[in-house]
Every structure is written in C-alpha cells, then in structure tokens.
Structure 1
Amino acid sequence: MWRMTRRRTFAKCLSECRQAACLSQEQLADKAGLRRTCISQLERGLKGPALEVLAALAEPMDMSFKSFWAQLARRLGP
C-alpha cells in the first residue's frame, strides 16, 4: 500500500510538471529518450522510476534534476 501511494504521488507530480511544460506524453518521451508507453505507465502509477529515468525526465521539462527531485521529495514527505 505504501509503495502504491508513493507511485500515485509521483504519477501526479510528473503529469503536472509535464503539462506545465506544455509537453504531450509523446513529446516528453522523445526528448527524454524514452517510449511514450513508459511515460504513460509512470503517470498512471503502474511503475516506479529509476534514478536514470528521473534525470532524463527533468531536462525536457525545463527543470534541473535537483529541482525535480526536491519537488518530488516535498510531495512524498518523510
């Protein structure tokens, strides 16, 4: 249960950041070197991201990895 709650929180954060950057799932995937299905699964909370994926996602959304990580950490809590 705890893991699913965190995945859902991450999913919502990713979706909001992507939309704020005015990117479709496909555009984000292309810019991050990922498949659109990967973005879809992440945004639906079906899978959790590896650190490498987090780093790849930040730049196309005009965020540093550090700021993306900080935003996630605030939402996820301790």
Structure 2
Amino acid sequence: MEENMGTVDRILRLVIGLVLFFTPFLGIPVSWSNTWLAIVSMGLGALLGVTAVFAFCPLYSAFGIRTKGRGRGLRR
C-alpha cells in the first residue's frame, strides 16, 4: 500500500471521523437517537479514522486520485 493521502486530507478525515464516531454517544443531535443512524455514523467515522492513520484510501487508489505531494527533496 503506497500512501496516497496528503497531510491536510489526513487531518480533515481524522477530525471528521472522530466527530462522526463520538457524536452518537453524546446524543446530539436527536436524529442520532435512531440506532441505525448511530451505527452508520460510527462505522463511517471509524473508516475515516483508519484511512487517516494509514494515509491510504482504497477509493483514491481505484480512481487514481492522489493528494500526497511527490516530494520536494534535494536532487543530485
């Protein structure tokens, strides 16, 4: 698995994933009182968190999307 996500992408996914995962526990908004919506929210949040940690998104790979820079190191 080659990393295909940049830093900003990873941070956004992690923050949104944490919010989606933990919001059903808080009971806010009331729409998350529905069990299925809470399960879907937590599953999506966990998926976003895992992809952020590993810096790899299978959908990005399938569609050829890459938000990670190519690297700007010194050339010799």
User: Which category describes the TM-score, using the shorter chain as reference length?
Assistant: 0.3 to 0.5
Select the structure of larger CA radius of gyration.
2
Structure possessing the higher relative contact order (Cα contacts under 8 Å, 6 or more residues apart) = 2
Normalising by structure 2, we get a TM-score of 0.35
TM superposition score normalised by structure 1: 0.35
